[in-house]
Amino acid sequence: MQRSIPWLWIVLGGLLLLAPGAIGRLLLDVAEGLTFLLVVLPLLAAGAGLIAWQVLKRRVHACEACGVTSFATDVCPACGTLYPTDSSGSPGSTDAPAIDARNVTINVDAVEVPTVDRQKSSN
């Protein structure tokens, strides 16, 4: 048995959209808010996920001795090797000493580079 098409409800919905009264405006505002949430929430979730990924990436360390990756520890859980820490106490590379840029002088020597005459090279 086929159901009949609810023409009455379709006409009433069309009238509410074409000439909205108080109830029609309320329904349009609700639909507008839901549409806004459907667009903005995924963008906010993506931004929060990106920030969380960056925070997690900073806390994950790979052991230089055995290669095991661990999360926010000072000692490798597999071999017991201490992770290197910088002066701020956070894990990082301490291979290069910290240099105060205000007390450093860089000497630069100017060197003349020979130029090639294009007319002579094309012949």
pLDDT digits (tens, 9 = 90+) for 13-50: 887 778 777 877 887 888 899 999 999 999 999 999 99
Number of domains in the chain: 2
**Residue 17 pLDDT:** 75
Q: Please give the model's pTM, rounded to 2 decimal places.
A: 0.44
Q: Coil, strand, or helix at residue 77?
A: coil
Q: What are phi and psi of 70, to 5 degrees?
A: -135, 170
DSSP structural state of residue 90:
S
Tell whether 47 and 69 lie within a shared domain.
no
Q: Cβ(83)–Cβ(61) under 8 Å?
A: yes
| Claim to verify: residue 55 and residue 73 sit in the same structural domain | no
Domain assignment of residue 102, yes or no: no
DSSP tag of 102: G
